[in-house]
């Protein structure tokens, strides 16, 4: 029996999980005992009962395999009976949620920094997902952090590394390790939800797609689903081999970082449909020929068309969106007479609603959409949902979106990201806006008049917990909004996000470019925030 070592350590003060776990530079995780401290803090916080099974895998980025070997030995030393780990250490975030739920495990550890860059100089991340398959609720992440501040030792088994390059069984002491096909369970779930025959018929009829895996985790999933099961042509996928540095790209599926795909969809002889996913597979971007679908519109359109899809033919129990996401889906929910919930950013808030049976579909403006089939957002699920709707309606992406706007009106929407702002400057912007709240109501800015401002607070209707300080909102009398929020997903400086939304029911204006239609609101946001004076930034890093 391999020896179990107890290693003395000291706390690190910076291990507070954000909205999606702990994310730092690879070099930070490589510090002595850093990863081990956090993993032991997880185990000491969740206290897995005897006989527990853990799911383990990640997005394949740099340090993924090394970290998995450490976590396996720590799981063995902490009394786990079994670990399900993806072959080659691979498990997309939605696939990990699927495996946790299908095999009824005591949660899982996912290694990913999502859409952040990879490689030796890039980012790494780790998070714990609970037994429902979703991100750990705040009571657990708070406990993990508190434990990390007083940790003095961790336990690890002194044993050789496990060969993760082939499926099969292995062991570390008494702990069994099942090295699983990372794709199979997830692909089977997708086939149970969508009409694969109808989508297959699209491709046989000459419908062309281009899916960009961005050299991230969804490459093997896209190959199995699109090429093997749906029989799409081989050239339907691009950048489909996962690489530790994501091919030196930035695996964030938006108009800036997925520019190669955008160019293809806006070029000559463009395919009918384009899509991309991110580092860990939970985000999606949807494109038609010469046409971009905002994530907010995508959620609303999937909601309006859900009964066309086999897995949702019985209708939806409700929908939910994060507060910064446009209210386009609210209008659909009112028409369908189903509840619509507005939550803080973070998928864990949707998990409570789904577990309670209150919502079926949910989404965030940050290119995340999902449903109660798992407890994470799901990039390939959204792509398949769109393909199923297209196969049923026999219309192009643009036709579907424009008909939706004609029926419900258009919520013109955009997000401006100012990345890597010095923390003090970013906090200064937010403090200045908050200080102006007493002066803004009733004040006019051009054609807009401020009706109300607040710092969004949410009381969970399921467990009664309250989350405060979730974003600064400026609400105008015509229903338009400006939202300011500091993002918790970066590792360097702060990302200040400005969300802009204006409702327009007039069909004759639905062809306007979003930046043109929102030009006046953009100017108001910059004026009220004193953004340029306080940060020196003249333009956003990313516009979506």
Residues with active-site annotation:
114
Terminal CA-CA length for the chain: 55
User: Do residues 322 and 409 lie in contact, with contact meaning Cβ atoms separated by under 8 Å?
Assistant: no
- Phi and psi at residue 294, to the nearest 5°: -70, 150
- Of 128, 209, 155, which is closest to residue 37 (Cα–Cα)? 155
* Helix, strand or coil, per DSSP, at residue 85: strand
- Of 4, 131, 167, which is closest to residue 76 (Cα–Cα)? 4
* Helix, strand or coil, per DSSP, at residue 498: strand
Separation CA 345–CA 364 (nearest Å): 7
- Phi and psi at residue 203, to the nearest 5°: -65, -40
Q: Give the tokens for residue 203.
A: 């491709």
- Of 184, 223, 181, which is closest to residue 88 (Cα–Cα)? 181
Q: Give strand ranges (E) for 166-256.
A: 168-172, 175-180, 209-212, 237-238
- Of 245, 261, 284, which is closest to residue 59 (Cα–Cα)? 245
Indicate the angle between helix axes 138-148 and 34-46, nearest 10 degrees.
Answer: 130
Cα dihedral angle (121, 496, 414, 297), rounded to 10 degrees?
70
Distances from the Cα of 100 to the Cα of 4, 68, 80, 170, angstroms? 27, 17, 15, 19
């Amino acid at each position: 029996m391999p020896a179990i070592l107890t290693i003395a350590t000291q706390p690190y003060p910076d291990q507070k999980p954000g909205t999606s776990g702990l994310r730092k530079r690879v070099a930070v995780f490589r510090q002595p005992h850093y990863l081990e401290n956090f993993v032991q803090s997880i185990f000491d916080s969740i206290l897995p009962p005897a006989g527990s099974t853990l799911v383990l895998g990640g997005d394949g980025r740099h340090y993924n395999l090394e970290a998995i070997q450490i976590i396996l030995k720590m799981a063995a030393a902490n009394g786990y009976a079994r670990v399900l780990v993806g072959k080659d250490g691979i498990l997309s975030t939605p696939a990990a949620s699927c495996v946790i739920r299908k095999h009824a495990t005591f949660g899982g550890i996912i290694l990913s920094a999502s859409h952040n860059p990879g490689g030796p100089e890039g980012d790494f991340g780790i998070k714990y997902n609970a037994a429902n398959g979703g991100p750990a609720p705040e009571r657990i992440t708070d406990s993990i952090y508190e434990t990390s501040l007083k940790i003095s030792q961790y336990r690890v088994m002194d044993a050789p590394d496990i060969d993760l390059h082939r499926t099969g069984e292995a062991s570390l002491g008494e702990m069994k390790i099942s090295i699983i096909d990372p794709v199979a369970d997830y692909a089977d779930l997708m086939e149970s939800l969508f009409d694969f025959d109808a989508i297959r018929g699209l491709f046989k009829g000459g419908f062309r797609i281009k899916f960009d895996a961005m050299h991230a985790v969804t490459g093997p999933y896209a190959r199995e689903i699109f090429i093997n099961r749906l029989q799409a042509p081989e050239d339907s996928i691009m950048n489909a081999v996962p690489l530790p540095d994501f091919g030196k790209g930035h695996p964030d599926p938006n108009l800036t970082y997925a520019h190669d795909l955008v160019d293809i969809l806006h070029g000559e002889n463009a395919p009918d449909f384009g899509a991309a996913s991110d580092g860990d597979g939970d985000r999606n971007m949807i494109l038609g020929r010469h046409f971009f679908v905002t994530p907010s519109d995508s959620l609303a359109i999937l909601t309006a068309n859900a009964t066309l899809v086999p897995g949702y033919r019985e209708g939806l129990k409700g929908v939910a969106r994060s507060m910064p996401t446009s209210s386009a889906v609210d209008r659909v929910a009112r028409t369908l007479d189903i509840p619509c919930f507005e939550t803080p950013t973070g998928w864990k808030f949707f998990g409570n609603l789904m577990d309670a049976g209150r919502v079926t579909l949910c989404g965030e403006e940050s290119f995340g959409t999902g449903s109660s089939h798992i407890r994470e957002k799901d990039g390939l699920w959204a792509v398949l949902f769109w393909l199923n709707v297209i196969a049923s309606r026999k219309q192009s992406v643009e036709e579907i979106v424009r008909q939706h706007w004609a029926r419900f009106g258009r919520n013109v929407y955009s997000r401006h990201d100012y990345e890597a702002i010095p923390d003090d400057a970013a906090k200064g912007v937010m403090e200045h806006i908050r200080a102006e709240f007493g002066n803004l109501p009733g004040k006019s800015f051009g054609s807009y008049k401020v009706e109300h401002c607040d710092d969004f607070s949410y009381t969970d209707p399921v467990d009664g917990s309250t989350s405060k300080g979730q974003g600064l909102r400026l609400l105008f009398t015509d229903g338009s909004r400006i939202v300011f929020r500091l993002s918790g997903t970066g590792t360097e400086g702060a990302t200040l996000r400005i969300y802009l939304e204006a409702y327009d029911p007039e069909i004759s204006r639905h062809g306007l470019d979003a930046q043109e239609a929102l030009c006046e609101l953009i100017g108001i946001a910059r004026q009220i925030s004193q953004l340029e004076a306080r940060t020196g930034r003249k333009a956003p890093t990313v516009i979506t």
